[in-house]
Amino acid sequence: MSTREKARSDRRARLVVIALVGAIAAFLVSTATAASAIVRETITESVVETGLTDDCRAGITGDLHGNRVLKFQIVENANGFHVQGTDGGPGRIDWSDGTYTLIDSVDRFAFNDVARGKTVVSNLTHVDSGDTYAADGTFLYRVTFHEVEKLTFANGVLRAEMQRGHFHFYGDC
């Protein structure tokens, strides 16, 4: 899987996470009592992926080991619930030529979940970064990917629309 393919796969995973958090908020709306509600949650999982490819260096493969942390908060307000959080975490890719890449990924989301039948529009911001080093620790290059997506929740359907996305390279990639 190349870096760009991984970005597309990560995008689908992010949308699933956002939909899950939205479903939790919708559940709270449907079961809310007169008392105010605040829900805070942190979910951590290990991530392992093998057979990655490097867009900058053909012919090598890598294995990723990292952590994914989903943190969110849901706060009841006069119109429903406000949901905000982050999803992402650090990792390391060890490449078959002895080099390695230290990576980090952060998604930020916030939206208001209002009564059923209403449309909710929100932006999701995403940043991936990776610093690649030679086996002896010498810095080789840095890649970052920035993306903003417009999310629309309407009639139980989540739609994502890319607003903008771009790669930045520093060093000899």
Domain that holds residue 159: 3-171
d(CA 123, CA 148): 7
Rounded Cα gap, residues 112 and 135, in angstroms? 47
Least confident of 35-44, 81-90, 137-146: 35-44
Mean pLDDT of 124-148: 93
Average pLDDT over residues 161-171: 82
Tokens of 99: 């080099």
CA atoms within 13 A on the CB side of 15: 18
Residue 28, pLDDT > 60, answer no
Q: What's the total number of domains in the chain? A: 1
Nearest residue to 109 via CA among 98, 99, 119, 123: 123
- Look over the chain and give the mean of its residue pLDDT values, rounded to a whole number: 81
